[in-house]
A and B are shown apart, each in its own frame.
Chain A
Amino acid sequence: MIKIENLSKKFGKTYVLSDVNLEFTPGMIYGLRGTNGSGKTMLLRCITGMLKPTSGRILIDEKELYKDMDFPENLGMLIENPAFIGNFTAYENLRILGSYMTKNPDEIIRKALDVVGLDPDDKKKYRKFSLGMKQKLGIAAAIMGEPDIIILDEPFNALDEKSLEKVHHEICRLKDERIIIVACHDKTELDSLADKIYIVREGRFFDE
């Protein structure tokens, strides 16, 4: 379970997150909806261990992030534009990341790429990928190894209808025993996917 208590984050004098109190439990897909700059991405960054809150705390399975641990134990993420190595293929990009997860990551890489509709044996380099392919690789990196917490920030950007359906299906399949948080500005997409939706406005989170 992820428990967020009185979390605030400010840059200079501007608060991007104000006194956020939320709980995320396994087996649910949570949706965050808000306009650009509302604070969705900032909260997700805080949960991934990449952005230290100014105040408040994040508890993951009773352990405090940034205090008891630097990063969540088992987390996959796609945040904004995915960054990968330009002259590596999709498989090669994931192989480096996979080597930190298991000694033989081949199977989990192939599975993740297959789920999003990318060919693991495709020799095309990342720099020649279309926007949609880049997004798919970002999603594959996030779900690779089926981590306990999956964070997806605007995962449906640039995806065609068929891929969208595949990704939807996979997210729903993964939700058992996992926490999945999806940030998206598209109401229809989020309504069809999330079990619970929070509306984000000026760094504050409200129940829908």
Chain B
Amino acid sequence: MNSFAAMLKYDLKNGIVRQKMVYMVAFLLNGVALIKFDNIDKQLEYGPYDCLAYLFEGMYPYVPNVGSPFIVPIVWFSVMMIPAFLIGNYANNDLSGYGSHIILKSKNKSVWFASKVVWCLLSVIIYFLFLVVLTYGFSYLYGGKTEVGIDKWKLCNGFFRNIAEKDVIVFTVIMPLITMITCSILQLAISLIVSTQAAYISIAAFYVMSAYFTNTLFVGNYSMMYKNEYISMGSGINLHNQCIVCGIIILISIAVSFVVVKKRDIYR
């Protein structure tokens, strides 16, 4: 087994399998959010994409006005913040703990870093899969509807514009997943460059600011259906720009944190 495969195996076991309790808590929290959705109108049937749309609906672009207080969309915020706790302080802890033994034996910090990036990516994907399983579970329990569509969500929100199946998948799966991956890689970078605490605070602040400002630079916007240009009838953010900005943030985060890790002292 080469160094990278050995390192990744260690990270998957240590950073995902051993964190199964955190994943269970994430599962439960999202379950609570979906129970709330189920209770909105018990007469309406719903499928998994209705659930995902509810989790990632977010809020319409905020316009500060007297009498319109700014309220962070709590369901969206919680769903997006959970991966921050999965990423947490694992990389930093490992670097000053057992990981230091591994780096010394493998004589390679690059392998350690590459493995952490892949681990971060897989952590988010696994979390998202948990979400998808949960939404299918709910749909199965409450009606058995599985087709791609967001009918209940549309009816509950008085949204009568037709949305094509492929767009439903883009808004409820692809963009939220890309946003989560981007923010998690950014969090990993901040935790390695500054500190774990700074990373938590930055990501939470980033999401809150994303809710307040409808701006391409605040990536959190991309995971909110209401902030999309298509859904918000032109006042939201363009889909192509979202993908480009996410790509740039991921590349810069990886490049900068790699340089920092290569130069960083390892000691507790």
Residues of chain A touching chain B, judged by Cβ–Cβ distance below 8 Å, are 45, 48-52, 69-73, 75, 77, 80, 83-85, 87, 93, 96-97, 99-101, 141
Other-chain residue from A52, A70, A72, A83 in contact with B100 (beta carbon distance below 8 A): A83
Q: Which residues in B have their C-beta under 8 angstroms from that of A100? A: 3, 6, 102, 105-106
- Could you list 7 further interchain pairs (A-B, Cβ under 8 angstroms) beyond the known A49-B107, A100-B6? A50-B100, A70-B108, A71-B107, A83-B96, A83-B97, A96-B10, A141-B101
Decide if B71 is an interface residue (CB 8 Å cutoff): no
CB distance from A151 to the nearest CB of B (A): 10
Number of interface residues, chain B, beta carbon within 8 A? 25
In the bound complex, residues from chain A placing their C-beta under 8 Å from that of B103 are 71
Q: Are A85 and B14 in contact (CB under 8 A)?
A: yes
Please state if A50 and B98 are interface contacts (CB–CB under 8 Å).
no
A101 and B105 contact, Cβ closer than 8 Å, known pairs A50-B267, A80-B268, A96-B10:
yes
Interface string of B62-106 (1 = CB under 8 A from A): 000000000000000000000000000000000011101111111
Q: Which residues on A sit within 8 Å (CB–CB) of B101?
A: 83-84, 97, 141
Question: Considering only CB atoms, which chain B residue lies closest to A9 in the complex?
Answer: B265
Interface residues of B in 1-49 (CB under 8 A from A): 1, 3, 6, 10, 14, 18
Residues from 162 to 208 in B contacting A, C-beta threshold 8 Å: none
Shortest Cβ gap from B38 to chain A (Å)? 38
Chain B residues in contact with chain A, CB under 8 A?
1, 3, 6, 10, 14, 18, 96-98, 100-109, 262-263, 265-268
Contact A70/B98 with A45-B267, A50-B266, A96-B10 known, Cβ cut-off 8 Å:
no
A96 touching B109 by the CB < 8 A rule? Answer: no
Question: How far does the Cβ of A28 sit from chain B's closest Cβ, in whole Å?
Answer: 22
Contacts of B267 in A (CB 8 A): 45, 50-51
- Known contacts: A50-B265, A85-B14. The answer to whether A73 contacts B107 by CB under 8 A is yes
A77's partner among B10, B104, B107, B265 (CB-CB below 8 A) is B104
Q: Looking across the interface, which residue of chain A has its beta carbon closest to that of B96?
A: A83
CA distance A48 to B103 in the complex (A): 11
A-B contact pairs, 11 of them (CB 8 A): A45-B265, A45-B267, A51-B267, A52-B263, A52-B265, A71-B103, A71-B108, A96-B102, A97-B102, A99-B6, A100-B6
Q: Give complex CA distance A57, B103 in Å.
A: 21
Please, how many angstroms separate the alpha-carbon atoms of A77 and B267 in the complex?
13
The answer to whether B107 touches A87, judged by C-beta atoms less than 8 angstroms apart, is: no
B98 with A85: CB separation less than 8 A: yes
Closest to A103 in B: B1
| Contact status B265-A51, CB under 8 Å | yes
A93 and B266 CA atoms in complex are apart in Å by 20
Closest A residue to B266 by beta carbon equals: A50
Residues of B within 8 A of A50 (CB): 100, 104, 265-267
The 10 lowest CB-CB distance pairs between A and B, nearest first, are A83-B97, A100-B105, A50-B266, A71-B107, A100-B106, A51-B265, A97-B105, A99-B6, A83-B98, A97-B101
A48 to B105, CA, bound (A): 11
- Assess the A49–B104 pair: CB atoms within 8 A: yes
A84 vs B98: C-alpha distance when bound (angstroms): 5
Could you say which residues of chain A place their CB within 8 Å of the CB of B6? 96, 99-100
Residue in B18, B105, B109 whose CB lies within 8 Å of A70 = B109
Residue of B nearest to A80 (CB): B268
Which residues of A are found within 8 Å of B268, using beta-carbon distances?
Answer: 80, 83
Q: Evaluate contact between A48 and B104: CB separation under 8 angstroms.
A: yes
